[in-house]
Every structure is written in C-alpha cells, then in structure tokens.
C-alpha cells in the first residue's frame, strides 16, 4: 500500500525498485492512489509483472490544508473498500506499506485479520512529530486535539506492524526511545534503495549540459534538487545565498513546492550572479543535470527533532557527485556522507559556517574529489542496492 501515484512502473525510485525486485520471485499486488483531479476511476491493471490497483481518492498533493486533510483521512476507508471489491478472493501473506501516511492503519488491520498476514512498515516519515517541529501542529490548544488523534493513529500503526524497517540507525534509535512500548526486535534497518546505475557524464557532455541550462563552465556548481517546502528551511537557504560571494562557487536549485516562490522572489528582486533557480524537470533531465554539477546539496530545517534521511542522497551518489549536507543536529545523513568519505556536513543554523564550508569545498584538490567519487559509488553499491531492503523484509517470511 502506498500514498504514491505510480502512474507508471517504468523508471526507478525508492519504492519502485523494491516493488520490481520483489516481483521477480513473488506475486505482488500494489494499491496506490489516483487523485480526483486526474479525472479517472478506480482501476485494476497488470504492469511489469505487478497487479496495480489505482484507487480514486481526493486531492492530497498540491492542495490546501483542509482539502489535503479530508482526503488523507478518507484514504483508509477508500483503500479498505477497494481491497474488499477487487481482492476479495486474494489471500495475502505479507502487507508492505510506508509512511506517509499513518492513516492506512485500518486497511492494514483488515488484511492482517482477514488473511492472517504478516505486516511490514517501511518507515519513511515520522508524523505527527515532524509537523510539530515545523510549527504546523502543536501539542496544546485546538491543534493539540489533531496532534493527539494523529499520535494515537501512529502508535496503532506501530502496534499493528509485525516489523518496522527504518531508513537509518538514528531512525531506529528515535523510534524506540519515543515509543518504549515497542519491542526492540521488531525495529530494524531497512534503508532507502535504488537501482544501481552509474549516471556520471564525461567532460564533453558536462559542458554541453551546462551550456543548455546557462550554468557557468568554470565554476564549482552546487546543486540542490527536490521539494522546496518547510522541511528544507528555505529562508535559511536564502540567507546563505546572500552571504555567499565566492566567485568560484555557483548555486543551482531545481524543484517545486510551497516555498518555491520565496526563492523565485529572491532571484528576481536581488538578481544574484551566483545563483540560478529552475522549476521541476523531468526525472531523466534532472539526473543528467545533477551529473554535470560538482556537488549535491541536502537541506533540512534546523528545527527538526526527528532524524530525516532524504532519498535525494541516492541521486547524487548515482551521479558520483560528492555531497554537502546542511542539516539539523538530529539526522545522521550528514554523519553518513562524512564517515563514508564522500562529503561534508554542517548544521543549518549559521550562514557564516555555510560560507566557510563552501570555501573549504571549492579548495579541495581535484585528486581528492576523484577519490571521493569512487568511495561514494562503492558505498552506494554496498549499502543502498535493492537487495539490501528486500533481504531485510523477506528474511522474516522465508
């Protein structure tokens, strides 16, 4: 069960690569959403060896808070109803699902009880605490009522799950320390994964891509690609860009989200010479653009108390692009890139520290950068190939 849209099973993503790896040896069913704005009904199809049930839901993405909230709450009933209608004669051995959202719990319980199935949660999001960290929810007042409801659903989802796979060691530690009722043996490492591909480019291709997008040929290019929302701390990013005057460094941000307009306003009003903003690109174009840059950036808001582990790290690793993680003190993604020998990390709290790290990075000798790229790809092959996650899941059901 997934909150993803999965309009196609072609290509590669954290969830798709797990699904397609499992589908090689098992009979796999995927239940995902199809938002109302698409104008299509609930539909069952078979694609890439997977039975795909796309369930018509409300508009969850690119919608207002009220519409998004109502659509999210209704997911549980809609998914359960779709299972009853389309899979009444199918008996499942394993139910695999992710967060977000936490509102699948009723549908998960239904299949678990009906089929005596095992259940495995791939924890990609710790909600509602992440919303509290960013000020979207509070633990008091009327927002506290919402928080307590969601927190009960979160705990129920953990209770219903036979196993919980976390993205990183810090996620495992956080989950157990904040949910003492959980038995340690049901919480384990199940990292983000990707199809292993070397998508780095040669010098000629690099130069052509930079020319295409108006990126300087002679600068060290720092790229960020992905969501631009509250989680990225965009106001901090803007302040860092304002203080960055090293002509050797150029910053490229590609993406979309609720905070895109803030970056667009900065670009239009202050016309910085070392910064370019692009709206979201097709995945293949984005991956090629990343490979033509020198360093990939990760941003996380300093207010987070939960240990996020962004999957965009994997796209940088596939491109052999060393990583600069500008993150909160609770995540271990920065520790991972530093200890893995393929990046740098600083806290997202002081723009001057950011500036000093940029200076340090651009002055890193070329031979050291080449060594970092090789360590990065080897790390990817070892830690984040699809078999790592699939083996973690299937060892409980052999």
Q: Give the residue extent of every domain in the chain.
A: 14-193+385-394, 203-383
Residue range 274-331, pLDDT digits in tens: 999 998 888 889 999 999 999 999 999 999 999 999 999 999 999 999 999 999 999 9
- Tell which wins on pLDDT, 398 or 298: 298
Domain with residues 14-193+385-394, CATH architecture: 3-Layer(aba) Sandwich (3.40)
Using CA atoms, how far apart are residues 291 and 302, in angstroms rounded to an integer?
28
**What pLDDT sits at residue 123?**
93
User: Can you tell me the mean pLDDT for 92-121?
Assistant: 90
What percent of the chain shows pLDDT beyond 70? 99
**What pLDDT sits at residue 67?**
83
Residue range 252-265, pLDDT digits in tens: 999 988 899 999 99
In the chain, where do the E strands start and end? 28-35, 43-47, 50-57, 94-99, 118-123, 163-166, 187-189, 220-227, 249-256, 275-279, 295-299, 323-327, 343-347
- pLDDT tier for residue 59 given thresholds of 50, 70 and 90: confident
**Ramachandran assignment for 329, one of left (phi > 0), alpha (psi -120 to 50 degrees), beta (any other):** alpha
Contacts of 328 (CB under 8 A, 6+ apart): 300, 301, 302, 303, 304, 305, 308, 347, 348
- The pTM of the full predicted model, rounded to 2 decimals, is 0.90
28-35 and 50-57 beta bridge pairing: parallel
The reply to whether domains 14-193+385-394 and 203-383 share a CATH topology is: yes
One-letter-per-residue 3-state SS of 46-112: EECCEEEEEEEECCCCCCCHHHHHHHHHHHHHHHHHHHHHHCCCCCCCEEEEEECCCCCHHHHHHHH
Using CA atoms, how far apart are residues 166 and 43, in angstroms rounded to an integer?
31
pLDDT at 28 over 80: yes
**What pLDDT sits at residue 398?**
67
Using CA atoms, how far apart are residues 345 and 348, in angstroms rounded to an integer?
9
Q: Fold for domain 203-383?
A: Rossmann fold (3.40.50)
Residue range 216-236, pLDDT digits in tens: 999 999 999 988 988 999 999
């Amino acid at each position: 069960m997934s909150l993803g849209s999965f309009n196609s099973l072609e290509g590669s993503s954290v969830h798709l690569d797990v699904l397609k790896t499992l589908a090689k040896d098992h009979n796999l069913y995927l239940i995902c959403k199809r938002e109302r704005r698409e104008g299509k009904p609930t539909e069952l199809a078979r694609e890439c060896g997977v039975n795909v049930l796309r369930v018509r839901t409300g508009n969850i993405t690119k919608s207002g808070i009220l519409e998004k909230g109502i659509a999210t709450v209704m997911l549980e009933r809609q998914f359960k109803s779709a299972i009853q209608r389309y899979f009444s004669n199918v008996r499942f051995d394993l139910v695999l699902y992710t967060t977000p959202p936490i509102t699948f719990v009723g549908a998960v319980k239904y299949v678990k009880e009906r089929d005596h199935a095992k259940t495995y949660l791939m924890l990609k999001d710790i909600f509602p605490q992440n919303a509290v960290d960013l000020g979207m929810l509070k633990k008091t007042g009327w927002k506290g009522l919402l928080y307590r409801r969601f927190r009960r659903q979160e705990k129920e989802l953990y209770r219903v799950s036979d196993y919980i796979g976390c993205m990183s060691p810090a996620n495992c530690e956080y989950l157990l320390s904040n949910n003492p009722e959980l038995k340690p043996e049901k919480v384990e490492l199940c990292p983000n994964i990707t199809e292993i591909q070397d998508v780095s480019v040669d010098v000629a291709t690099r130069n052509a891509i930079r020319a295409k997008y108006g990126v300087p040929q002679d600068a060290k290019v720092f790229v960020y690609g992905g969501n631009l929302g509250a989680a990225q701390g965009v106001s901090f990013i803007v302040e860092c860009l304002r203080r960055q005057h090293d002509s050797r460094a150029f910053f490229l941000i590609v993406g979309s989200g609720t905070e895109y307009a803030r970056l667009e306003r900065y670009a239009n009003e202050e016309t910085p010479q070392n910064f370019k903003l692009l709206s979201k690109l097709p995945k293949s174009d984005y991956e090629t653009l990343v490979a033509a840059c020198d360093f990939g950036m990760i941003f996380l808001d300093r207010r987070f108390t939960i240990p996020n582990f962004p999957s965009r790290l994997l796209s940088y690793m596939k491109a052999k692009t060393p990583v600069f993680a500008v993150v909160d003190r609770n995540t271990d993604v920065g520790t991972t890139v530093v200890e893995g020998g393929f990046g740098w990390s600083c806290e997202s709290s002081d723009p001057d520290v950011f500036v000093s790290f940029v200076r340090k990075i651009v002055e890193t000798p070329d031979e050291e950068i080449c060594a970092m790229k090789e360590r990065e790809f080897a790390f990817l092959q070892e830690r984040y190939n699809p078999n790592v996650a699939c083996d973690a899941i299937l060892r409980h059901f052999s």
